[in-house]
Copies of this chain bind each other. A is one copy, B any other.
Amino acid sequence: MRFPALFEHLSKLAAIPPSEWERAELLGKEQTVDRKALFLRPGDASDRFSIVLQGVFRLVRVSARGGESVKAFRAEGDLLGAYSEMLQGKPSMTAIEALEPSRVLVFRAADLQALEQGHTCWVQLARSVAEKHFLLKEQREQEFLELSAEERLERFWEEHAHLHRRIPQRDVAAYLGITEVGLSRIVSRRRRQQAAASGASQ
């Protein structure tokens, strides 16, 4: 088994027999991605997907007006790809950029479909992945509906504590749907309030 940590990680989503995993592992090709390099760019075919072995990525959507918004971050163990475009068989509208020197394990979508024929655990995995992605997006929807930017920021760091100091603030802003300037303002406001509170209590 080349990637036992990965096996363990995926086992949380579906019961994959080790023998199946060992077959699957062989289909993946390791690849390194330089910091700031685009692992996927808009217009590319969405016929591959990957798993992050090391590093952090951001998934960026460039809007018609030229603004960038960040759909998600991906780190060790996460799936990496233009998931929704793959589901729709469309070319990618998403750019994927490495924020650190990274390594990924690349699979061809067609290979996964072949695996699905051989063992139902892969179908179950695909379903779990779809459901998990849905739950994450729904949570995000709810945050946009109910929370202010400041509250969304707080939630973000609760959910992404493991990425602390690994993603630049401007990308966090683009993920929260606010500007770099707005985020900086919120952060410094909170800093001041915390300082005032701890000063007052002493």
Q: Which residues of A contact B (CB under 8 A)?
A: 61, 63, 65, 67, 69, 71, 83-84, 87-88, 123, 126-127, 130-131, 133-135, 137-138, 140-142, 144-146, 177
Contact = CB atoms under 8 A, between A and B. Distances in A.
Given A63-B146, A144-B144, A144-B177, A131 B71 contact: no
B69 A138 contact: no
Contact of A127 (B67, B88, B126): B126
Contact of A138 (B123, B137, B177): B137
B134 A130 contact: yes
A63 B148 CA distance: 13
A83 to B, nearest CB: 8
A129 to B, nearest CB: 9
Nearest to A142: B61
7 contacts: A69-B142, A69-B145, A84-B138, A87-B131, A126-B127, A130-B130, A145-B177
Contact of A123 (B65, B87, B127, B141): B127
A83 B141 CA distance: 14
Contacts of A134: 83-84, 87, 130, 133-134, 137
Nearest first, the 9 closest Cβ-Cβ pairs linking A and B are A137-B137, A130-B130, A69-B145, A144-B144, A134-B134, A63-B146, A145-B177, A127-B127, A130-B131
Contacts of A61: 142, 145-146
A147 to B, nearest CB: 9
Nearest to A139: B84
A146 B71 contact: no
A144 B71 CA distance: 11
Nearest to A63: B146
Nearest to A129: B130
Given A123-B123, A127-B126, A141-B137, A146 B67 contact: yes
B71 A141 contact: yes
A127 B63 CA distance: 29
